[in-house]
Amino acid sequence: MSSLPVLVLNSGSSSIKFSVYEAGDGQRAKLHEGAVDGIGTDLGKFWIKDAEGNKLVDQTPALPTRAIAFKLVADALHSGDFPAPVAIGHRMVCGGPTVQENQLITPELIDEMELYTAFAPLHTPIACYIMRESLRLFPDVPNFVCLDSYFHRTMPEVVSHMPIPEEYSAMGVRRYGAHGISYESIVYQLQPNVPKKLIVAHLGNGASITAIRNGECLDTSMGLTPTGGIISGTRTGDIDPGVLLFILRKIAETGVTAAEAADKLEAVASKKAGLLGVSELSNDMRDLRDAIKEGNAKARLAVDKFTWTIAKWIGSYVAELDGLDMLVFTGGIGENDINARAEICAGLSALGIVLDPQRNNVRGEAVISSEHSPVTVRVIPPAEDLIIVNHVVRLLGK
């Protein structure tokens, strides 16, 4: 049996998550998963578990920099205690207009993707940094980029084109979408019976919805950046541009430079808005549900805004798809928040979406629609790392 350990890297603002899959001889078995969390603090966490969930590494190191955090991962994987990767897959939100295919990473490719940092400002700089470190610390191992925007590349021009002056469109400003690897993984898990007309709602701290026709993306809610689309944990989602101009002018009145004003506006729209902005309490759905139980009206409004917007978006996607066969919920809220699913679907019976309260009373994978619902409603957890491994193996030519 040939061994083909593939490392999957998924880096966030304060953490680096990773998993190692055995992908030899067509198999896809997760061997290990782990994370370094708390980057930028004196008391971080570094852990690695085996496939059965046993903790093989459990440390609380100081993690002053991302470089130190990633070196811990590289050292562990070079130590001989774990299978050293023969290929590495990196998750990346968007590579810009010229990098749309998953491919081998070279220093030049990273430079090219970095030109479009503004298209995923919270994600791209970190992902590019980790890619460069990975080329340095794993010099003999091929590294591949797997893009969230890859799944959305089938959107028709009428959907992806933005209603802006052509000069900006020519700079690559258009709808790219995000969460594409999650959507790809839902379609993958539904094979071979992928419904013709499918809507998937990825509801996590970042939230988006996608209309999928014959297994391909037709439309997705996130736009140029992950700040567009539906309201999520800390992001506005789509909003009247006049609101942003109003806030920008208010910020400018404080006498900051244009660049500082842009940064502040970005922080307002992507870090301080959404569920957090409306509730003035938390971006975490669990906190909001607890607060609602105690009668917190702002938490109620934030959650209502969330579920209302999603229901509205589902309606528009049914129109685009000219019907609907299946609705899938995924992501932390989609998988776990029974109330959110019930609230979203409550007003959608005219679209053929009818939940069964008993079946919906679950966390994790299930069919939750009533027996007589014309549309099947399911909960399916994403399998993003598996999709990245599949792409890596394909690109390796194995």
CA-closest candidate to residue 216, choices 149, 158, 153: 153
Tokens of 191: 């094979």
CA dihedral 377→379→385→391, nearest 10 degrees, is: -10
DSSP class per residue in 5-58: EEEEEEE-SSEEEEEEEE-GGG--EEEEEEEEE-TTBSS-EEEEEETT--EEEE
Choose the binding region for ligand AMP from 145-153, 154-162, 329-337, 386-394 (rule: CB under 6 A): 329-337
Q: By CB under 6 A, what part of segment 231-260 binds ligand AMP?
A: 233
Residue whose token pair is 């993707």: 113
Nearest to 145 by CA among 133, 172, 126, 127: 127
Cross-sheet strand order for the sheet of 55-59: 55-59, 45-50, 29-37, 15-22, 5-11, 87-92, 143-147, 103-104
201 binds ligand AMP (CB under 6 A): no
Q: How far is the CB of 336 from ligand AMP (least distance, A)?
A: 3
180 binds ligand AMP (CB under 6 A): no
| Closest CB 363 distance from ligand AMP, rounded Å | 6
CA 66 vs CA 16, 49, 116, 124, 210: distances in Å: 9, 21, 21, 14, 33
Burial track 360-371 (b if 16+ CB lie within 10 A, e otherwise): beeeeebbbbbe
Which residue stretch of 118-126, 140-148, 151-159, 327-335 sits at the interface with ligand AMP (rule: CB under 6 A)? 327-335
CB under 6 A: which stretch of 10-18, 20-28, 131-139, 283-291 binds ligand AMP?
Answer: 283-291
Q: Helix, strand, coil shares of the chain as percentages rounded to 5?
A: 40, 20, 35
Binding of ligand AMP by 22 (CB under 6 A): no
Contact call for residue 13 and ligand AMP (CB under 6 A): no
Cα dihedral 349, 158, 214, 341 sign: negative
* Interaction of residue 278 with ligand AMP, rule CB under 6 A: no
286 in contact with ligand AMP (CB under 6 A):
yes
Active site residue 148: yes
Q: Which is nearer to ligand AMP, 96 or 204 (CB)?
A: 204
The residue from 177, 274, 331, 381 that contacts ligand AMP (CB under 6 A) is: 331
Least distance CB 282 / ligand AMP (angstroms): 8
Whichever of 175 and 341 has its CB closer to ligand AMP, that residue is: 341
Q: Which of 33, 148, 219, 337 binds ligand AMP (CB under 6 A)?
A: 337
Residue number, 96 or 229, with CB nearest to ligand AMP: 229
**Which residue among 85, 89, 204, 237 contacts ligand AMP (CB under 6 A)?**
204
Q: Is 5 in the site for ligand AMP (CB under 6 A)?
A: no
Q: Given the complex with ligand AMP, which of 85 and 233 has the nearer CB atom? A: 233
Interacting residue ranges for ligand AMP, rule: CB under 6 A = 204-205, 233, 284-286, 289, 331-333, 336-337
Q: Which residues are catalytic?
A: 148
